[in-house]
Amino acid sequence: MFSHSPFICRVEWGMRGAREAAERGDIIIIVDVLSFSSTVISALSNGAIIYPYPPYIDGKTYAEKVGAEYILGRAEADKIGKPTLSPISFTQEHSNKKYVLSSLNGAFCTWIASKVPALLIGSLLNASSVSSIANQLRVKSNSNITVVPCGEQWNDVKNYDNSLRPSIEDYLGAGSILSYLDGDKSPEAEVCIGAFQHAKEKINELIWECGSGRELRQKGFEDDVKHCSRLNVYETVPILYNDHFVSAPLLNI
C-alpha cells in the first residue's frame, strides 16, 4: 500500500493529495502559485478577509450569507476595477473587506482539506514564513506536514483522462517551502526540494516561460507572473480559521 508513514514532511499532488493528507490528520500547506495561494497571501497582506469556496457551488449566494463580495473572473473584474484572482488587484483600499474567492485548484483543495489540525496557504511569496509557522504547529500538535502543490486542470478532458496537469510553478513553490521545514523528508519531498534548489537562481525566468506563466501572459496578466515569482517577500501566513483565512500570528501560534 502506498504510504508516507515513516516521514514527517511529505508532498502530495492536487485534490486527491489534499484529501489523503486530511484523512491522515496532517498539517497541510496548500500551494497554488498562479494564483490562488499568491492571491490569498497578497490579499491578507493588504488587510482583506478571504473566504475560500469551491467553484462548482453557488459562490454568490454564499457571499451574501457571510456578508462578503463574490470575486469575479480576472478579465470581468478588471474592467470594473474590482479585486480578482489576480494578486496585484488587492491594495490597502480592500482592508477589512470580505471577499469570497473560488478557483479550480487552490480553493477546491482548501475546501476538500478543511477539516485538519491546521491548513496554511503557501507560495514562493511566503515560503520561509509559512514553513516557520508549520514547524511551530508540528511541535505543538505532534502532527506530520503535507505540502500540496495543486497543479492545473487539463482542458477538454476525454474518457479515462486524468484531469490533473502537474505544474512546475507549484512544484517549485512546494520545494521552496519544504526546504525550510524541519523533520525527515519523504523521497518525494527530497526530490521536490532538489528541483527548487536547482532552479532557484533562475526561478523567475522558468515561471515566466512555463505553461501556466505563458497562459497568463497571453491573457494580459504579465504583472501577475512577475509578482508570484518572487521569493520570501511577505511574512503573511494565511491559516484557515472556521470558514475564512486569518494571519497565523494573530492566533498567537
Residue 67: domain span: 9-251
User: What's the DSSP call for residue 88?
Assistant: G
227/42 Cα distance (integer angstroms): 10
pLDDT per residue, tens digit, the chain (253 aa), is 456 678 999 999 999 999 999 999 999 999 999 999 999 999 999 999 999 999 989 999 999 999 999 998 887 777 778 899 999 999 999 999 999 999 999 999 999 999 999 999 999 999 999 999 999 999 999 999 999 999 998 888 788 878 899 999 999 999 999 999 999 999 999 999 999 999 999 999 999 999 999 999 999 999 999 999 999 999 999 999 999 999 997 666 6
4/52 Cα distance (integer angstroms): 28
Kindly state whether residue 28 falls inside one of the protein's structural domains: yes
What φ, ψ does residue 202 adopt, rounded to 5°? -130, 30
- Burial class of residue 115, CB neighbours in 10 A (0-12, 13-18, 19+): exposed
Q: Tell me the three state secondary structure of residue 233.
A: coil
Q: What share of the chain is helix, strand, coil (3-state, %, to 5)?
A: 45, 15, 35
Q: What's the pTM value of the predicted model, to 2 decimals?
A: 0.95
Kindly state whether residue 3 falls inside one of the protein's structural domains: no
Which CATH number fits the domain that encloses residue 22? Answer: 3.90.1560.10
Kindly state whether residue 2 falls inside one of the protein's structural domains: no
Kindly state whether residue 155 falls inside one of the protein's structural domains: yes
Kindly state whether residue 1 falls inside one of the protein's structural domains: no
Kindly state whether residue 34 falls inside one of the protein's structural domains: yes
Kindly state whether residue 234 falls inside one of the protein's structural domains: yes
Total structural domains within the chain: 1
32/224 Cα distance (integer angstroms): 13
CA quadruple 181, 185, 189, 190: dihedral, nearest 10: 100
